[in-house]
Structure 1
Protein backbone atom coordinates (compact mmCIF):
# COMPACT_ATOMS: atom_id res chain seq x y z
CA UNK A 1 0.00 0.00 0.00
CA UNK A 2 1.39 3.36 -1.00
CA UNK A 3 0.22 6.97 -0.67
CA UNK A 4 -0.84 8.64 -3.89
CA UNK A 5 -1.20 12.27 -4.83
CA UNK A 6 -3.71 14.53 -3.17
CA UNK A 7 -6.22 13.92 -5.94
CA UNK A 8 -6.08 10.13 -5.81
CA UNK A 9 -4.61 7.66 -8.24
CA UNK A 10 -6.78 8.71 -11.17
CA UNK A 11 -7.71 5.12 -12.11
CA UNK A 12 -11.23 3.89 -12.87
CA UNK A 13 -12.93 1.67 -10.28
CA UNK A 14 -16.31 0.00 -10.71
CA UNK A 15 -17.36 -0.08 -7.04
CA UNK A 16 -17.34 2.41 -4.18
CA UNK A 17 -18.31 2.23 -0.52
CA UNK A 18 -18.06 4.85 2.22
CA UNK A 19 -18.46 5.09 5.97
CA UNK A 20 -17.19 6.79 9.12
CA UNK A 21 -15.51 5.81 12.38
CA UNK A 22 -15.56 7.34 15.83
CA UNK A 23 -11.89 7.45 16.87
CA UNK A 24 -11.32 7.50 20.63
CA UNK A 25 -8.15 9.25 21.80
CA UNK A 26 -5.27 6.77 22.09
CA UNK A 27 -7.19 3.78 20.70
CA UNK A 28 -6.26 2.00 17.47
CA UNK A 29 -9.00 0.43 15.35
CA UNK A 30 -9.22 -1.29 11.98
CA UNK A 31 -10.81 0.95 9.36
CA UNK A 32 -10.24 -1.21 6.23
CA UNK A 33 -10.12 -5.00 6.49
CA UNK A 34 -7.56 -7.17 4.71
CA UNK A 35 -8.72 -9.34 1.80
CA UNK A 36 -7.37 -12.81 0.95
CA UNK A 37 -7.27 -12.18 -2.80
CA UNK A 38 -5.59 -9.63 -5.01
CA UNK A 39 -7.54 -6.38 -5.22
CA UNK A 40 -6.86 -3.02 -6.77
CA UNK A 41 -8.39 -0.32 -4.64
CA UNK A 42 -7.97 3.29 -3.62
CA UNK A 43 -8.60 4.42 -0.05
CA UNK A 44 -9.42 8.02 0.86
CA UNK A 45 -9.33 9.10 4.52
CA UNK A 46 -10.45 12.48 5.87
CA UNK A 47 -10.63 13.99 9.35
CA UNK A 48 -10.60 17.44 10.96
CA UNK A 49 -7.57 16.81 13.17
CA UNK A 50 -4.25 14.91 12.77
CA UNK A 51 -4.36 11.11 13.03
CA UNK A 52 -2.07 8.16 12.25
CA UNK A 53 -2.50 5.01 10.19
CA UNK A 54 -0.57 1.79 9.77
CA UNK A 55 -1.25 -1.31 7.74
CA UNK A 56 -1.58 -4.80 9.16
CA UNK A 57 1.79 -6.52 9.58
CA UNK A 58 3.76 -3.27 9.90
CA UNK A 59 5.08 -1.67 13.07
CA UNK A 60 5.46 1.69 11.36
CA UNK A 61 2.78 4.30 11.97
CA UNK A 62 2.33 7.03 9.38
CA UNK A 63 1.14 10.39 10.69
CA UNK A 64 -1.53 12.05 8.58
CA UNK A 65 -2.03 15.76 9.13
CA UNK A 66 -5.01 16.42 6.88
CA UNK A 67 -6.26 13.85 4.41
CA UNK A 68 -4.77 10.60 3.11
CA UNK A 69 -5.02 8.91 -0.30
CA UNK A 70 -3.67 5.38 -0.65
CA UNK A 71 -3.45 2.87 -3.50
CA UNK A 72 -3.52 -0.83 -2.63
CA UNK A 73 -2.12 -3.11 -5.35
CA UNK A 74 -0.68 -5.91 -3.24
CA UNK A 75 -1.02 -9.67 -3.62
CA UNK A 76 -3.85 -9.43 -1.11
CA UNK A 77 -5.70 -6.41 0.23
CA UNK A 78 -3.79 -5.02 3.20
CA UNK A 79 -5.80 -4.08 6.27
CA UNK A 80 -5.52 -0.48 7.52
CA UNK A 81 -5.47 0.58 11.19
CA UNK A 82 -5.99 4.13 12.47
CA UNK A 83 -5.43 5.95 15.75
CA UNK A 84 -5.80 9.53 16.91
CA UNK A 85 -4.45 11.60 19.84
CA UNK A 86 -7.90 13.18 20.08
CA UNK A 87 -11.43 11.87 19.89
CA UNK A 88 -12.85 12.65 16.45
CA UNK A 89 -14.82 11.39 13.46
CA UNK A 90 -12.85 9.85 10.58
CA UNK A 91 -14.51 9.53 7.17
CA UNK A 92 -13.36 6.97 4.64
CA UNK A 93 -14.09 6.04 1.01
CA UNK A 94 -12.96 2.84 -0.71
CA UNK A 95 -13.02 2.46 -4.50
CA UNK A 96 -12.29 -1.01 -5.82
CA UNK A 97 -12.14 -3.07 -9.03
CA UNK A 98 -14.27 -5.88 -7.63
CA UNK A 99 -17.41 -6.01 -5.50
CA UNK A 100 -16.80 -4.61 -2.00
CA UNK A 101 -18.17 -7.39 0.20
CA UNK A 102 -16.96 -5.95 3.52
CA UNK A 103 -18.29 -3.14 5.71
CA UNK A 104 -16.65 0.26 6.06
CA UNK A 105 -17.59 1.58 9.52
CA UNK A 106 -21.00 3.17 9.86
CA UNK A 107 -22.78 4.24 6.71
CA UNK A 108 -22.47 7.88 5.67
CA UNK A 109 -25.88 9.43 5.14
CA UNK A 110 -25.97 11.53 1.99
CA UNK A 111 -27.93 14.77 2.25
CA UNK A 112 -28.28 14.82 -1.54
CA UNK A 113 -31.14 12.53 -2.59
CA UNK A 114 -30.68 10.08 -5.45
CA UNK A 115 -32.23 11.76 -8.51
CA UNK A 116 -35.01 10.21 -10.50
CA UNK A 117 -33.64 8.75 -13.71
CA UNK A 118 -34.44 10.95 -16.69
CA UNK A 119 -33.79 9.98 -20.32
CA UNK A 120 -34.69 12.28 -23.21
CA UNK A 121 -34.23 12.43 -26.98
CA UNK A 122 -30.83 13.66 -28.07
CA UNK A 123 -32.53 15.87 -30.65
CA UNK A 124 -35.59 17.86 -29.65
CA UNK A 125 -38.50 16.81 -31.81
CA UNK A 126 -39.36 20.40 -32.75
CA UNK A 127 -35.84 21.67 -33.37
CA UNK A 128 -34.40 19.63 -36.21
CA UNK A 129 -36.08 21.06 -39.26
CA UNK A 130 -35.17 24.44 -40.75
CA UNK A 131 -33.00 25.49 -37.79
CA UNK A 132 -29.64 25.28 -39.43
CA UNK A 133 -26.11 26.18 -38.37
CA UNK A 134 -24.94 29.62 -39.47
CA UNK A 135 -22.48 28.16 -41.96
CA UNK A 136 -25.36 26.58 -43.90
CA UNK A 137 -27.76 29.52 -43.94
CA UNK A 138 -27.81 33.24 -43.28
CA UNK A 139 -30.48 35.86 -42.90
CA UNK A 140 -29.88 37.12 -46.40
CA UNK A 141 -29.54 33.92 -48.41
CA UNK A 142 -30.33 30.23 -47.97
CA UNK A 143 -28.93 27.40 -50.07
CA UNK A 144 -31.98 25.18 -50.38
CA UNK A 145 -29.94 22.17 -51.52
CA UNK A 146 -28.01 22.37 -48.25
CA UNK A 147 -31.24 22.78 -46.33
CA UNK A 148 -32.69 19.69 -48.00
CA UNK A 149 -29.61 17.58 -47.21
CA UNK A 150 -29.49 18.73 -43.62
CA UNK A 151 -33.18 18.09 -43.07
CA UNK A 152 -32.96 14.69 -44.75
CA UNK A 153 -30.20 13.68 -42.33
CA UNK A 154 -32.05 14.84 -39.23
CA UNK A 155 -35.37 13.70 -40.55
CA UNK A 156 -34.16 10.10 -40.31
CA UNK A 157 -33.39 10.59 -36.61
CA UNK A 158 -36.63 12.08 -35.32
CA UNK A 159 -40.34 11.98 -35.86
CA UNK A 160 -43.15 14.09 -34.48
CA UNK A 161 -44.68 10.99 -32.89
CA UNK A 162 -42.08 10.78 -30.13
CA UNK A 163 -40.20 7.81 -31.61
CA UNK A 164 -36.56 8.76 -32.07
CA UNK A 165 -33.26 7.05 -32.86
CA UNK A 166 -30.95 8.83 -30.42
CA UNK A 167 -31.45 9.06 -26.65
CA UNK A 168 -29.34 10.55 -23.86
CA UNK A 169 -29.19 10.41 -20.07
CA UNK A 170 -30.50 13.68 -18.69
CA UNK A 171 -30.51 13.08 -14.90
CA UNK A 172 -28.90 10.08 -13.19
CA UNK A 173 -26.60 8.99 -10.38
CA UNK A 174 -23.07 8.56 -11.83
CA UNK A 175 -21.72 5.06 -11.27
CA UNK A 176 -25.12 3.54 -10.47
CA UNK A 177 -26.12 0.51 -12.52
CA UNK A 178 -29.55 0.78 -14.14
CA UNK A 179 -31.49 -2.13 -15.58
CA UNK A 180 -33.46 -1.49 -18.78
CA UNK A 181 -35.69 -3.60 -20.95
CA UNK A 182 -36.05 -3.43 -24.71
CA UNK A 183 -39.12 -4.79 -26.52
CA UNK A 184 -40.70 -4.68 -29.94
CA UNK A 185 -43.93 -5.76 -31.52
CA UNK A 186 -42.81 -5.54 -35.14
CA UNK A 187 -44.65 -8.39 -36.82
CA UNK A 188 -46.35 -8.66 -40.17
CA UNK A 189 -48.92 -11.12 -41.50
CA UNK A 190 -47.99 -12.75 -44.80
CA UNK A 191 -49.49 -15.33 -47.11
CA UNK A 192 -53.04 -16.51 -47.46
CA UNK A 193 -52.87 -18.12 -44.03
CA UNK A 194 -51.87 -14.85 -42.38
CA UNK A 195 -48.73 -16.22 -40.76
CA UNK A 196 -47.17 -13.75 -38.32
CA UNK A 197 -43.51 -13.03 -39.08
CA UNK A 198 -41.08 -10.80 -37.20
CA UNK A 199 -39.74 -7.76 -39.04
CA UNK A 200 -36.46 -8.18 -37.12
CA UNK A 201 -34.58 -11.26 -38.32
CA UNK A 202 -34.91 -14.25 -36.01
CA UNK A 203 -31.69 -15.62 -34.53
CA UNK A 204 -29.92 -12.24 -34.68
CA UNK A 205 -29.23 -9.72 -31.92
CA UNK A 206 -30.54 -6.27 -31.23
CA UNK A 207 -27.51 -4.08 -30.56
CA UNK A 208 -27.55 -1.33 -27.95
CA UNK A 209 -24.96 1.19 -29.11
CA UNK A 210 -23.23 3.73 -26.87
CA UNK A 211 -22.12 6.59 -29.09
CA UNK A 212 -19.75 9.28 -27.75
CA UNK A 213 -21.35 12.70 -28.07
CA UNK A 214 -18.22 13.95 -29.83
CA UNK A 215 -18.77 11.38 -32.59
CA UNK A 216 -22.32 12.58 -33.16
CA UNK A 217 -21.29 16.23 -33.28
CA UNK A 218 -18.56 15.35 -35.78
CA UNK A 219 -21.24 13.76 -37.98
CA UNK A 220 -23.43 16.84 -37.67
CA UNK A 221 -20.56 19.05 -38.74
CA UNK A 222 -19.91 16.81 -41.74
CA UNK A 223 -23.49 17.25 -42.90
CA UNK A 224 -23.28 20.98 -42.33
CA UNK A 225 -19.93 21.53 -44.05
CA UNK A 226 -20.12 19.02 -46.89
CA UNK A 227 -23.81 18.77 -47.63
CA UNK A 228 -23.12 19.44 -51.32
CA UNK A 229 -21.47 16.01 -51.60
CA UNK A 230 -24.01 14.23 -49.36
CA UNK A 231 -26.58 14.29 -52.11
CA UNK A 232 -28.17 10.86 -51.90
CA UNK A 233 -29.70 8.51 -49.37
CA UNK A 234 -26.73 6.17 -49.65
CA UNK A 235 -24.38 8.99 -48.65
CA UNK A 236 -26.48 9.63 -45.56
CA UNK A 237 -26.58 5.89 -44.82
CA UNK A 238 -22.79 5.69 -45.05
CA UNK A 239 -22.50 8.54 -42.57
CA UNK A 240 -24.81 6.69 -40.17
CA UNK A 241 -22.66 3.57 -40.56
CA UNK A 242 -19.60 5.69 -39.78
CA UNK A 243 -21.32 6.73 -36.53
CA UNK A 244 -22.30 3.20 -35.48
CA UNK A 245 -18.83 1.80 -36.22
CA UNK A 246 -17.49 4.06 -33.46
CA UNK A 247 -19.87 2.86 -30.76
CA UNK A 248 -19.58 0.41 -27.88
CA UNK A 249 -22.01 -2.50 -28.22
CA UNK A 250 -24.28 -4.46 -25.86
CA UNK A 251 -26.56 -7.13 -27.31
CA UNK A 252 -29.89 -8.76 -26.50
CA UNK A 253 -31.76 -11.44 -28.52
CA UNK A 254 -33.94 -10.39 -31.45
CA UNK A 255 -37.02 -10.93 -29.26
CA UNK A 256 -35.80 -8.29 -26.78
CA UNK A 257 -34.72 -8.51 -23.16
CA UNK A 258 -32.97 -6.80 -20.27
CA UNK A 259 -29.64 -4.99 -20.38
CA UNK A 260 -27.58 -3.03 -17.85
CA UNK A 261 -25.97 0.40 -18.17
CA UNK A 262 -23.82 2.31 -15.69
CA UNK A 263 -23.72 5.95 -16.84
CA UNK A 264 -20.84 8.19 -15.79
CA UNK A 265 -20.06 11.84 -16.38
CA UNK A 266 -18.63 10.83 -19.78
CA UNK A 267 -21.73 11.47 -21.86
CA UNK A 268 -22.87 8.88 -24.40
CA UNK A 269 -25.82 8.75 -26.74
CA UNK A 270 -27.96 5.62 -26.86
CA UNK A 271 -28.80 4.03 -30.24
CA UNK A 272 -30.43 0.73 -31.25
CA UNK A 273 -29.38 -1.30 -34.29
CA UNK A 274 -31.00 -4.42 -35.72
CA UNK A 275 -31.10 -6.66 -38.79
CA UNK A 276 -34.31 -6.99 -40.73
CA UNK A 277 -35.93 -10.18 -41.95
CA UNK A 278 -36.82 -10.77 -45.60
CA UNK A 279 -39.66 -8.29 -45.06
CA UNK A 280 -37.08 -5.50 -44.58
CA UNK A 281 -33.66 -7.01 -45.30
CA UNK A 282 -30.46 -5.34 -44.20
CA UNK A 283 -29.01 -3.57 -41.17
CA UNK A 284 -30.30 -0.29 -39.81
CA UNK A 285 -31.08 1.85 -36.80
CA UNK A 286 -34.38 1.68 -34.96
CA UNK A 287 -36.77 4.32 -33.75
CA UNK A 288 -37.90 3.82 -30.16
CA UNK A 289 -40.15 5.27 -27.51
CA UNK A 290 -39.00 5.31 -23.89
CA UNK A 291 -41.22 4.67 -20.87
CA UNK A 292 -39.83 5.45 -17.38
CA UNK A 293 -40.18 2.97 -14.55
CA UNK A 294 -43.45 4.04 -12.91
CA UNK A 295 -42.92 1.79 -9.89
CA UNK A 296 -39.49 3.20 -9.03
CA UNK A 297 -38.42 6.28 -11.05
CA UNK A 298 -34.88 5.92 -9.69
CA UNK A 299 -34.46 2.72 -11.70
CA UNK A 300 -34.25 1.97 -15.43
CA UNK A 301 -37.25 1.97 -17.76
CA UNK A 302 -38.26 0.38 -21.05
CA UNK A 303 -37.40 1.11 -24.66
CA UNK A 304 -39.88 -0.12 -27.27
CA UNK A 305 -38.78 -0.36 -30.89
CA UNK A 306 -41.59 1.07 -32.97
CA UNK A 307 -39.95 1.25 -36.40
CA UNK A 308 -37.03 -0.38 -38.18
CA UNK A 309 -35.71 1.01 -41.45
CA UNK A 310 -32.73 -0.72 -43.09
CA UNK A 311 -29.98 1.31 -44.70
CA UNK A 312 -30.28 1.69 -48.44
CA UNK A 313 -27.75 -0.31 -50.46
CA UNK A 314 -28.40 1.19 -53.85
Structure 2
Protein backbone atom coordinates (compact mmCIF):
# COMPACT_ATOMS: atom_id res chain seq x y z
CA UNK A 1 0.00 0.00 0.00
CA UNK A 2 1.52 3.37 -0.99
CA UNK A 3 2.61 5.68 1.82
CA UNK A 4 1.20 9.14 2.32
CA UNK A 5 4.51 10.62 1.12
CA UNK A 6 4.47 8.64 -2.13
CA UNK A 7 0.96 9.90 -2.86
CA UNK A 8 2.11 13.54 -2.76
CA UNK A 9 2.46 15.43 -5.99
CA UNK A 10 6.10 15.65 -7.15
CA UNK A 11 6.18 19.42 -6.61
CA UNK A 12 4.93 18.99 -3.01
CA UNK A 13 7.61 16.52 -1.91
CA UNK A 14 10.48 19.05 -1.62
CA UNK A 15 8.28 21.26 0.57
CA UNK A 16 7.51 18.38 2.91
CA UNK A 17 11.14 17.24 3.04
CA UNK A 18 12.38 20.77 3.74
CA UNK A 19 9.75 21.24 6.46
CA UNK A 20 10.86 17.97 8.05
CA UNK A 21 14.47 19.19 8.04
CA UNK A 22 13.35 22.41 9.74
CA UNK A 23 11.70 20.39 12.53
CA UNK A 24 14.85 18.28 12.93
CA UNK A 25 17.03 21.41 13.11
CA UNK A 26 14.77 22.97 15.75
CA UNK A 27 14.75 19.79 17.84
CA UNK A 28 18.53 19.35 17.67
CA UNK A 29 19.12 23.01 18.47
CA UNK A 30 16.68 22.89 21.37
CA UNK A 31 18.26 19.75 22.85
CA UNK A 32 21.71 21.31 22.58
CA UNK A 33 20.70 24.58 24.26
CA UNK A 34 18.83 22.72 27.01
CA UNK A 35 21.93 20.68 27.77
CA UNK A 36 24.45 23.53 27.55
CA UNK A 37 22.41 26.54 28.67
CA UNK A 38 19.38 25.13 30.46
CA UNK A 39 16.96 26.99 28.16
CA UNK A 40 15.30 26.58 24.77
CA UNK A 41 15.43 29.95 22.98
CA UNK A 42 14.70 28.44 19.56
CA UNK A 43 10.99 28.18 20.39
CA UNK A 44 10.81 31.71 21.79
CA UNK A 45 8.54 33.95 19.64
CA UNK A 46 11.05 36.80 19.92
CA UNK A 47 13.86 34.55 18.72
CA UNK A 48 11.85 33.24 15.76
CA UNK A 49 10.79 36.77 14.78
CA UNK A 50 14.41 37.89 14.93
CA UNK A 51 15.44 35.05 12.64
CA UNK A 52 12.62 35.84 10.22
CA UNK A 53 13.66 39.49 10.24
CA UNK A 54 17.19 38.66 9.09
CA UNK A 55 15.80 35.94 6.84
CA UNK A 56 13.62 38.51 5.07
CA UNK A 57 16.68 39.89 3.24
CA UNK A 58 17.57 36.44 1.91
CA UNK A 59 13.92 35.67 1.21
CA UNK A 60 13.50 38.71 -1.03
CA UNK A 61 16.68 37.90 -2.97
CA UNK A 62 15.53 34.28 -3.37
CA UNK A 63 12.12 35.42 -4.65
CA UNK A 64 13.75 37.18 -7.58
CA UNK A 65 16.27 34.41 -8.12
CA UNK A 66 13.42 31.89 -8.42
CA UNK A 67 11.91 33.79 -11.34
CA UNK A 68 15.16 33.45 -13.27
CA UNK A 69 15.79 29.82 -12.32
CA UNK A 70 12.27 28.91 -13.46
CA UNK A 71 13.49 29.87 -16.93
CA UNK A 72 16.54 27.63 -16.62
CA UNK A 73 18.85 30.64 -16.20
CA UNK A 74 20.85 32.04 -13.28
CA UNK A 75 21.56 35.55 -12.02
CA UNK A 76 25.09 35.86 -10.66
CA UNK A 77 24.95 39.67 -10.62
CA UNK A 78 22.89 39.69 -7.41
CA UNK A 79 25.78 40.48 -4.99
CA UNK A 80 26.78 43.78 -6.55
CA UNK A 81 23.30 44.68 -7.74
CA UNK A 82 22.30 44.54 -4.08
CA UNK A 83 25.40 46.49 -3.03
CA UNK A 84 25.07 49.12 -5.76
CA UNK A 85 21.39 49.70 -4.97
CA UNK A 86 22.21 50.19 -1.29
CA UNK A 87 25.14 52.50 -2.00
CA UNK A 88 23.24 54.68 -4.45
CA UNK A 89 20.17 54.86 -2.19
CA UNK A 90 22.23 56.04 0.77
CA UNK A 91 24.25 58.41 -1.42
CA UNK A 92 21.15 60.13 -2.83
CA UNK A 93 19.23 60.08 0.46
CA UNK A 94 15.96 61.83 1.18
CA UNK A 95 12.74 60.96 -0.61
CA UNK A 96 14.61 59.74 -3.70
CA UNK A 97 16.62 57.10 -1.82
CA UNK A 98 14.22 54.18 -2.41
CA UNK A 99 13.36 55.05 -6.05
CA UNK A 100 17.05 55.42 -6.83
CA UNK A 101 17.93 52.04 -5.34
CA UNK A 102 15.09 50.30 -7.17
CA UNK A 103 16.05 52.08 -10.41
CA UNK A 104 19.51 50.52 -10.10
CA UNK A 105 17.92 47.08 -9.83
CA UNK A 106 15.70 47.72 -12.88
CA UNK A 107 18.67 48.95 -14.94
CA UNK A 108 20.82 45.94 -14.08
CA UNK A 109 17.91 43.58 -14.72
CA UNK A 110 17.31 45.14 -18.15
CA UNK A 111 20.97 44.78 -19.10
CA UNK A 112 21.00 41.16 -17.95
CA UNK A 113 17.75 40.32 -19.69
CA UNK A 114 18.69 41.95 -22.98
CA UNK A 115 22.10 40.32 -22.97
CA UNK A 116 20.69 36.84 -22.31
CA UNK A 117 17.54 37.09 -24.43
CA UNK A 118 18.79 39.01 -27.47
CA UNK A 119 22.54 38.46 -27.54
CA UNK A 120 21.99 34.82 -26.51
CA UNK A 121 24.97 34.88 -24.16
CA UNK A 122 24.73 32.18 -21.44
CA UNK A 123 23.24 33.77 -18.34
CA UNK A 124 25.96 32.42 -16.05
CA UNK A 125 28.67 34.18 -18.07
CA UNK A 126 26.81 37.39 -18.85
CA UNK A 127 25.49 38.06 -15.34
CA UNK A 128 28.90 37.28 -13.83
CA UNK A 129 30.37 39.89 -16.15
CA UNK A 130 27.69 42.42 -15.17
CA UNK A 131 28.44 41.72 -11.52
CA UNK A 132 32.10 42.50 -12.15
CA UNK A 133 31.17 45.73 -13.95
CA UNK A 134 28.95 46.81 -11.05
CA UNK A 135 31.74 46.08 -8.60
CA UNK A 136 34.14 48.23 -10.61
CA UNK A 137 31.63 51.08 -10.83
CA UNK A 138 31.03 51.05 -7.08
CA UNK A 139 34.76 50.96 -6.30
CA UNK A 140 35.16 53.94 -8.64
CA UNK A 141 32.18 55.68 -6.99
CA UNK A 142 33.62 55.28 -3.49
CA UNK A 143 37.29 55.65 -4.42
CA UNK A 144 37.92 52.23 -2.93
CA UNK A 145 36.90 53.33 0.56
CA UNK A 146 33.82 52.59 2.65
CA UNK A 147 31.09 55.13 1.78
CA UNK A 148 30.32 57.69 4.46
CA UNK A 149 26.61 57.99 3.61
CA UNK A 150 24.00 56.87 6.12
CA UNK A 151 20.68 55.11 5.61
CA UNK A 152 17.60 57.31 5.62
CA UNK A 153 15.02 57.12 8.44
CA UNK A 154 12.58 55.35 6.09
CA UNK A 155 15.19 52.72 5.22
CA UNK A 156 15.89 52.14 8.92
CA UNK A 157 12.16 51.91 9.63
CA UNK A 158 11.58 49.31 6.92
CA UNK A 159 14.54 47.18 8.02
CA UNK A 160 14.84 47.52 11.78
CA UNK A 161 11.61 48.82 13.33
CA UNK A 162 8.54 46.88 14.46
CA UNK A 163 4.86 47.24 13.70
CA UNK A 164 2.37 45.52 16.01
CA UNK A 165 5.33 43.73 17.58
CA UNK A 166 6.45 42.28 14.23
CA UNK A 167 9.53 43.52 12.36
CA UNK A 168 8.54 45.65 9.38
CA UNK A 169 11.07 43.77 7.22
CA UNK A 170 8.85 40.69 7.52
CA UNK A 171 5.89 42.69 6.17
CA UNK A 172 8.05 43.79 3.23
CA UNK A 173 8.97 40.15 2.54
CA UNK A 174 5.28 39.17 2.72
CA UNK A 175 4.39 41.94 0.28
CA UNK A 176 7.09 40.83 -2.17
CA UNK A 177 5.92 37.23 -1.76
CA UNK A 178 2.32 38.16 -2.55
CA UNK A 179 3.44 39.94 -5.70
CA UNK A 180 5.53 36.95 -6.84
CA UNK A 181 2.75 34.45 -6.10
CA UNK A 182 0.22 36.60 -7.93
CA UNK A 183 2.50 36.89 -10.96
CA UNK A 184 3.18 33.15 -11.12
CA UNK A 185 -0.36 31.94 -10.40
CA UNK A 186 -2.65 34.63 -11.79
CA UNK A 187 -1.02 36.24 -14.81
CA UNK A 188 -0.22 35.30 -18.40
CA UNK A 189 3.36 36.39 -17.73
CA UNK A 190 3.66 33.81 -14.95
CA UNK A 191 2.30 31.04 -17.16
CA UNK A 192 4.72 32.14 -19.87
CA UNK A 193 7.63 31.78 -17.44
CA UNK A 194 6.76 28.13 -16.78
CA UNK A 195 6.18 27.44 -20.49
CA UNK A 196 9.45 29.10 -21.51
CA UNK A 197 11.35 27.26 -18.78
CA UNK A 198 9.96 23.91 -19.90
CA UNK A 199 10.87 24.39 -23.55
CA UNK A 200 11.67 27.81 -24.95
CA UNK A 201 11.38 26.83 -28.61
CA UNK A 202 7.92 25.31 -28.12
CA UNK A 203 6.79 28.36 -26.13
CA UNK A 204 8.00 30.66 -28.92
CA UNK A 205 6.16 28.65 -31.57
CA UNK A 206 2.99 28.83 -29.48
CA UNK A 207 3.06 32.62 -29.68
CA UNK A 208 4.81 33.53 -26.42
CA UNK A 209 7.25 36.43 -26.68
CA UNK A 210 9.95 34.44 -24.92
CA UNK A 211 12.62 37.12 -25.18
CA UNK A 212 10.53 39.63 -23.27
CA UNK A 213 9.62 36.95 -20.73
CA UNK A 214 13.35 36.47 -20.07
CA UNK A 215 13.90 40.22 -19.82
CA UNK A 216 10.97 40.56 -17.41
CA UNK A 217 12.24 37.78 -15.15
CA UNK A 218 15.70 39.35 -14.92
CA UNK A 219 14.18 42.76 -14.16
CA UNK A 220 12.20 41.22 -11.30
CA UNK A 221 15.38 39.59 -10.00
CA UNK A 222 17.16 42.95 -10.14
CA UNK A 223 14.32 44.71 -8.32
CA UNK A 224 14.28 42.07 -5.57
CA UNK A 225 18.06 42.33 -5.13
CA UNK A 226 17.73 46.13 -4.92
CA UNK A 227 14.95 45.94 -2.31
CA UNK A 228 17.07 43.55 -0.24
CA UNK A 229 20.03 45.94 -0.52
CA UNK A 230 17.94 48.90 0.62
CA UNK A 231 16.68 46.91 3.62
CA UNK A 232 20.13 45.61 4.50
CA UNK A 233 21.53 49.14 4.40
CA UNK A 234 18.72 50.25 6.70
CA UNK A 235 19.41 47.35 9.05
CA UNK A 236 23.14 48.17 9.14
CA UNK A 237 22.42 51.95 9.08
CA UNK A 238 24.79 52.26 6.10
CA UNK A 239 25.94 50.60 2.90
CA UNK A 240 29.31 48.88 2.60
CA UNK A 241 31.30 47.15 -0.10
CA UNK A 242 30.67 43.45 -0.54
CA UNK A 243 27.47 43.50 1.50
CA UNK A 244 25.73 41.29 -1.06
CA UNK A 245 28.37 38.57 -1.31
CA UNK A 246 26.81 36.45 1.43
CA UNK A 247 23.45 36.20 -0.35
CA UNK A 248 24.20 34.64 -3.73
CA UNK A 249 24.77 30.96 -2.92
CA UNK A 250 22.20 30.81 -0.07
CA UNK A 251 19.57 32.32 -2.41
CA UNK A 252 20.28 29.74 -5.11
CA UNK A 253 20.33 26.97 -2.50
CA UNK A 254 17.00 28.09 -1.01
CA UNK A 255 15.35 28.03 -4.43
CA UNK A 256 16.72 24.62 -5.36
CA UNK A 257 16.12 23.09 -1.92
CA UNK A 258 12.55 24.33 -2.18
CA UNK A 259 12.02 22.17 -5.25
CA UNK A 260 12.50 24.56 -8.16
CA UNK A 261 14.14 22.59 -10.94
CA UNK A 262 17.52 24.10 -11.78
CA UNK A 263 16.86 23.52 -15.49
CA UNK A 264 13.64 25.48 -15.31
CA UNK A 265 9.94 24.88 -15.85
CA UNK A 266 8.96 23.58 -12.42
CA UNK A 267 8.78 25.03 -8.92
CA UNK A 268 6.49 26.51 -6.29
CA UNK A 269 7.13 29.70 -4.38
CA UNK A 270 6.10 28.15 -1.06
CA UNK A 271 9.04 25.80 -1.49
CA UNK A 272 11.40 28.76 -1.79
CA UNK A 273 10.00 30.24 1.43
CA UNK A 274 10.53 26.94 3.23
CA UNK A 275 14.04 26.69 1.77
CA UNK A 276 14.91 30.17 3.04
CA UNK A 277 13.57 29.30 6.50
CA UNK A 278 15.63 26.10 6.57
CA UNK A 279 18.86 27.89 5.66
CA UNK A 280 18.30 30.72 8.16
CA UNK A 281 17.55 28.34 11.03
CA UNK A 282 20.45 26.06 10.13
CA UNK A 283 22.87 28.99 10.23
CA UNK A 284 21.35 30.15 13.50
CA UNK A 285 21.70 26.76 15.18
CA UNK A 286 25.29 26.42 14.00
CA UNK A 287 26.01 29.87 15.48
CA UNK A 288 24.46 28.84 18.81
CA UNK A 289 26.63 25.73 18.80
CA UNK A 290 29.65 27.99 18.18
CA UNK A 291 30.57 25.80 15.27
CA UNK A 292 33.89 26.80 13.63
CA UNK A 293 33.56 28.26 10.15
CA UNK A 294 35.08 25.16 8.54
CA UNK A 295 32.55 22.94 10.28
CA UNK A 296 29.68 25.22 9.29
CA UNK A 297 30.63 25.02 5.64
CA UNK A 298 30.86 21.21 5.78
CA UNK A 299 27.46 20.84 7.46
CA UNK A 300 25.85 23.52 5.31
CA UNK A 301 27.08 21.91 2.10
CA UNK A 302 26.19 18.40 3.29
CA UNK A 303 22.58 19.38 3.99
CA UNK A 304 22.24 20.93 0.53
CA UNK A 305 23.82 17.94 -1.24
CA UNK A 306 21.81 15.48 0.84
CA UNK A 307 18.50 17.14 0.03
CA UNK A 308 19.33 17.38 -3.66
CA UNK A 309 20.19 13.67 -3.66
CA UNK A 310 16.81 12.93 -2.09
CA UNK A 311 15.08 14.91 -4.82
CA UNK A 312 17.19 13.23 -7.44
CA UNK A 313 15.72 9.86 -6.53
CA UNK A 314 12.36 10.99 -7.93
CA UNK A 315 12.65 10.95 -11.71
CA UNK A 316 9.37 12.75 -12.09
CA UNK A 317 10.71 15.66 -10.03
CA UNK A 318 14.05 16.05 -11.76
CA UNK A 319 12.80 15.35 -15.25
Which structure carries more strand by proportion?
1
Query: Could you state the TM-score of these two structures normalised by the residue count of structure 2?
Result: 0.23
The answer to which structure, 1 or 2, has the higher relative contact order (CA under 8 A, 6+ apart) is 2
TM-score by length of 1: 0.24
More helix by share: 2
